[in-house]
Amino acid sequence: MTFRNDYADRLLDGEYLDVIADVYTDLLGEPVAALIFFGATGVAFFIYQERAIIPVVMVTLIGGISLSTLPPGPSRVVIILVLLAIASVVYLMYQRALGSSRFRS
């Protein structure tokens, strides 16, 4: 790990937001820092609204970009996990529909 000494120079030049972001992206990498930031934001939205629509939209928009930066091995694992998650959501929706009084025979 290398420490960049140009943070102070960039702060004096007025690049405040770039320095704040670079402190994390230099250490973790851009995809991991984005997942941490947007994951925490998505969890906060979910806890506040008690609905998952905003985190799902965030993952849909950001997930494809983050997935394309992964090497082939880990990206296959992530694709398999996403497919399992989609299958489990469909199964839960089916079970909820069966349990509803509208769908009982």
The number of folded domains in the chain is: 2
pLDDT for 1: 47
Q: Does residue 86 sit in the same domain as residue 42?
A: no
Q: Does residue 86 sit in the same domain as residue 51?
A: no
Residue 13: is its pLDDT beyond 50?
Answer: yes
Listed in sequence order, the residues at least 6 apart from 66 whose beta carbon sits closer than 8 Å to its beta carbon are 31, 34, 35
Q: Does residue 63 sit in the same domain as residue 19?
A: yes
Confidence band of 105 (pLDDT split at 50, 70, 90) = low
For 101, the domain range is 70-105
Q: Across all residues in the chain, what is the average pLDDT?
A: 76
pLDDT in tens, 64-83: 776 777 777 877 887 888 88
Q: Which residues of 36-70 are buried (b: 16+ CB within 10 A; e: fewer)?
A: eebeeebeebeeeeeeeeebeeebeebeeebeeee
Residue type at 49 in one-letter notation: Q
pLDDT in tens, 22-70: 777 777 677 677 777 777 887 888 788 877 777 777 777 777 776 777 7
